[in-house]
Amino acid sequence: MQTTIIEAIKSVMLEAGKALTAREAYEAIIQKNLYNFLAKDPKHVVLMQIRRHCIGLDFPSASPRKHFKQENDNKYYLLSSITVAPEEKTSNIRKEITSTANSLIETEKELWKLHEKYLSIFRENMIRELKNLTPSEFESFSRDLLLAYNFEDVKVTSVSKDGGIDGHGKLKVGLAHLNVAFQCKRWNNRRIQRQEIDMFRGAGQGSYEQGIFFTTSSFTKTAIGASIKKGAMPVVLVDGKAIVELMIEKKFRVESNQMEIPAFAL
């Protein structure tokens, strides 16, 4: 019958007659073939078993039965006899540790709630800033956003010659390039109607394989339904909320401050 991990550790420490590190104990166990480890990180298993049964190291998963004591340099030696920690002391320590852990968990939850609140306020503010752009500024903004998404040769057309198209560019798909037209409507509250989509498609039909319609407002249901039409140029609809998400995703004119939140990994 195979010995337990604790018995194997005690055996090699007793034979060594001196304090050992967890690594030294593990190597001795392997050399003497005292235990068959199935874990991916057996050295860590030995270390945690020693610490679970070590005097002075109390944590929720620690054992009340103590076989070892820690020395300097992360070495441990075998006690002459098993020491059993008082149940009351062990219970109080575990309650205190559990209370602290629960407090950390609740605090982390509050941090994530604040993070969501911050993002919500941030998105509202970004849409408001987009609506403060002039129509020509919004066209240039849309051009730069497409460039950030690896579109090529993106240009804003002349206002007097756009014919319902504010700009165009190319998007590489596999070995080919799609000719893409885009339209920009810097509107405040008025929603984009179907007729706007139809006019944009009519201006680009035959010359472009795809259209992109940017707006700082939103689209009606009929406009959304008209975005895909059999045999006609498909139109991708990007409203104010979607624009902000694209900006966040590509870090386009958006800076991110990283706040590190450490967590237990023992």
Tally Cβ neighbours within 10 Å of residue 178. 14
Tally Cβ neighbours within 10 Å of residue 32. 12
Closest-CA residue to 23 (of 74, 66, 57): 74
* Tens-digit pLDDT profile for residues 58-103: 777 788 889 999 887 789 989 988 887 665 555 665 666 667 777 8
Instruction: Please give the share of the chain, as a percent, with pLDDT higher than 90.
Output: 59
Q: Which residue has the higher pLDDT, 160 or 176?
A: 176
- The answer to whether 196 and 214 have CB atoms below 8 angstroms apart is no
Exposed, middle or buried, 142 (CB in 10 Å: 0-12/13-18/19+)? buried
Q: What is the pLDDT of residue 114?
A: 92
Report which secondary-structure segment, H or E, holds 254: none
Closest-CA residue to 12 (of 258, 2, 23): 23
Q: What is the pLDDT of residue 160?
A: 43
pLDDT bin (cut points 50, 70, 90) of residue 137 is very high
Q: What is the pLDDT of residue 39?
A: 78
- Give the chain's end-to-end CA distance (angstroms, integer): 31
Q: What is the pLDDT of residue 146?
A: 96
Amino acid at 46: V
- The pair of three-digit structure tokens given for residue 260, joined into one six-digit string: 């590190």
